[in-house]
């Protein structure tokens, strides 16, 4: 005989809305615990029911999305989500809606789905949904507009930063972020850089990882470093800086955006973000032109101060690796990789960052 919990989960497919409502309210608490496997039987039927409920009224849909977010770390559930071609446009339509109250929960679920490379590839290729605002050509354009413009007052869209981090792990994703878009004439990574010091930790983490992944595209480095184009350096360096004062020698040549910072300027407190930005800088030293420019604009003194003010071993190690490249006595190797070895290929494909799997407790 089925247990009481199995019977409860079975009511998720009830045709009676009041029964579905009660089942959802009681079942949601089991989705993140040791009994979460109850949602997998029989043959993932509860998952299929939950996907249908996502299109129910917002209060019921919120519970359904919460359960799916919590269960999407299970391979069977994730596969059910990413293989359902009808569910993808439904979920994305909820995210890009300008009034949907559960857009953030839907964004969390999308962020977990993009842990799958196969789904990320699908997302990159998806054309904009019908009726897209502003001439957006792709779903990524629509998601970027939501993230940057905050088109829905009911949502903050922070978890889309994890979507971008996952998508940018793939060459096609990096191509999206590093090439100018026809619909607005802007390179998408330029829209993300302003969020490296945002108040949201989730947004800062996802953006930092996206920037790092894009830095694996060595061919884009001249555009990244050009002050008239992406101008990436100030946005990477500012989170690494505190309120330290620099002497005239260190300030000579330093980027204008990094000078005369307020006395209450604080470096990012998250060590993962600091390490990620340092790794991005290391990737930008992959060409001689990149190394020479970073020396010219006095990146070394900033890294020196970051090293002096950290107690985290990973941050300190990342500083050491970067300093070894920037302060090398000889630099006649041409293009080198982050480990100091001569680069054989145009683009390195390892150690990319991804957004964290989301769970709602």
Q: Out of 72, 96, 119, pick the residue that ends a domain.
A: 72
Joined tokens for residue 7: 């019977």
Q: Out of 167, 192, 213, pick the residue that ends a domain.
A: 167
Question: Would the pLDDT of 346 be above 50?
Answer: no
Averaged pLDDT for residues 39-47: 96
Structural domain contains residue 118? yes
Q: Could you report the per-residue pLDDT of 16-29, keeping only the tens digit for each? A: 999 999 999 999 99
User: Is 89 found in the same domain as 68?
Assistant: no
Q: Could you report the per-residue pLDDT of 56-95, keeping only the tens digit for each? A: 999 999 999 999 999 999 999 999 999 999 999 999 999 9
Say how many domains are in the chain: 3
Joined tokens for residue 165: 């981090």
Question: Can you give the pLDDT at residue 2?
Answer: 78
Q: Torsion angle, CA of 14/79/98/25, rounded to 10 degrees?
A: 40
Q: Could you report the per-residue pLDDT of 285-306, keeping only the tens digit for each? A: 999 999 999 999 999 999 999 9
Angstrom distances, CA of residue 158 to CA of 106, 274, 352, 356 = 11, 19, 20, 12
Proportion of the chain above pLDDT 90, given as a percent: 86
Secondary structure of residue 300 in the 3-state scheme: helix
Q: Could you report the per-residue pLDDT of 238-280, keeping only the tens digit for each? A: 999 999 999 999 999 999 999 989 999 999 999 999 999 999 9
Structural domain contains residue 224? yes
pTM: 0.92
Least confident of 130-139, 169-178, 351-360: 351-360
Question: Can you give the pLDDT at residue 33?
Answer: 86
The residues, any chain, with a CB within 8 Å of residue 187's CB and separated by 6 or more, are 177, 178, 179, 180, 181, 223, 229, 230
Angstrom distances, CA of residue 179 to CA of 160, 194, 279 = 20, 18, 22
Structural domain contains residue 223? yes
Count Cβ atoms within 10 A of the Cβ of residue 273 and give its class: 0-12 exposed, 13-18 middle, 19 or more buried.
Answer: buried
User: Is 347 found in the same domain as 291?
Assistant: yes
Q: Rounded CA gap, 72 and 63, in Å?
A: 14
Residue range of the domain that includes 24:
1-72
The residues, any chain, with a CB within 8 Å of residue 59's CB and separated by 6 or more, are 21
Proportion of the chain above pLDDT 70, given as a percent: 91
Question: Can you give the pLDDT at residue 353?
Answer: 72
């Amino acid at each position: 005989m089925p247990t009481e919990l199995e019977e409860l989960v079975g009511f998720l497919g009830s045709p009676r809305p009041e029964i579905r409502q009660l089942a959802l309210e009681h079942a949601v608490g089991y989705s993140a615990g040791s009994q979460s496997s109850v949602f997998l039987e029989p043959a993932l039927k509860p998952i299929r029911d939950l996907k249908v409920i996502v299109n129910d009224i917002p209060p019921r849909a919120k519970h359904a999305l919460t359960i799916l977010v919590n269960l999407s770390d299970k391979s069977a559930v994730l596969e059910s989500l990413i293989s359902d071609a009808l569910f993808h446009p439904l979920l994305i339509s909820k995210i890009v809606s300008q009034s949907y109250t559960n857009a953030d929960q839907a964004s969390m679920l999308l962020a977990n789905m993009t842990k799958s490379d196969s789904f990320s590839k699908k997302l990159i290729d998806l054309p904009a949904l019908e009726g897209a605002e502003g001439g957006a050509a792709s779903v990524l354009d629509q998601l970027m507009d939501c993230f940057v413009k905050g088109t829905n007052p009911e949502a903050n869209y922070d978890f889309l930063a994890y979507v971008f981090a996952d998508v940018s792990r793939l060459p096609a994703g990096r191509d999206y972020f590093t090439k100018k878009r026809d619909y607005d004439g802007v390179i998408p990574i330029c829209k993300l850089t302003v969020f490296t010091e945002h108040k949201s930790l989730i947004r800062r983490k996802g953006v930092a990882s996206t920037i790092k992944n894009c830095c694996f595209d060595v061919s884009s480095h001249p555009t990244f470093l050009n002050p008239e184009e992406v101008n990436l350096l100030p946005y990477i360096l500012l989170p690494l800086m505190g309120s330290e004062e620099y002497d005239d020698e260190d300030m000579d040549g330093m980027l204008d955006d990094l000078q005369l910072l307020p006395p209450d300027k604080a470096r990012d407190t998250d060590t993962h973000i600091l390490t990620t930005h340092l790794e991005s800088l290391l990737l930008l030293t992959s060409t001689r032109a990149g190394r020479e420019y970073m020396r010219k604009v006095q990146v070394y003194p900033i890294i020196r101060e970051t090293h002096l003010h950290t107690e985290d071993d990973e941050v300190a190690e990342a500083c050491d690796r970067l300093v070894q490249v920037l302060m090398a006595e000889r630099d006649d190797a041409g293009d080198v990789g982050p480990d100091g070895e001569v680069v054989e290929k145009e683009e390195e494909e390892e150690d990319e960052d991804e957004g964290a799997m989301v769970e709602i407790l």
